[in-house]
């Protein structure tokens, strides 16, 4: 992404320099040249703002998607842990009941 940004910036700078030189060498009056340069710079600024807004929107969408994926995995992990805890509780209850029955049987045998 950084390489693309550098290339775009270089292209914009080159285009601006080329346009400025062309306007300065054109046979217009000084006022017309300044107006043309100002108009061209305004167009460049508008284009840069649009690209920045697009990049910001893309970044926001990517971050929201990443957050959603992390949440999904987190809740899936929590659900798995809850299932394991329930299984362990059931297993422990079964062992306690079996131990209590063994004690009860031992007491009754005496």
Residue 1 pLDDT: 54
Q: Following CA atoms 62, 54, 11, 18 in sequence, which dihedral angle do they give, to the nearest 10 degrees? A: -170
Residues near 47 by beta carbon (within 8 Å), at least 6 away in sequence: 12
Give 26 or 107, the one with higher predicted confidence.
107
Listed residue (59, 58, 55, 62) closest to 5, CA to CA: 55
**In the chain, where the domains are located:** 2-109
Residue 67 pLDDT: 94
Q: Which has the minimum average pLDDT: 34-38, 40-44, 85-89?
A: 34-38
Residue 85 predicted with pLDDT over 80: yes
Residue 9 pLDDT: 79
Give 37 or 43, the one with higher predicted confidence.
43
């Amino acid at each position: 992404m950084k390489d693309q940004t550098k290339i775009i910036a270089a292209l914009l700078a080159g285009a601006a320099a080329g346009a400025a030189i062309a306007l300065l060498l054109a046979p217009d009056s000084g006022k017309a040249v300044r107006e043309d340069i100002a108009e061209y710079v305004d167009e460049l600024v508008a284009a840069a703002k649009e690209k920045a807004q697009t990049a910001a929107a893309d970044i926001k969408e990517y971050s929201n998607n990443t957050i959603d994926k992390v949440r999904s995995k987190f809740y899936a992990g929590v659900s798995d842990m809850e299932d394991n805890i329930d299984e362990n509780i059931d297993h422990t209850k079964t062992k306690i009941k079996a131990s209590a029955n063994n004690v009860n049987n031992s007491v009754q045998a005496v």
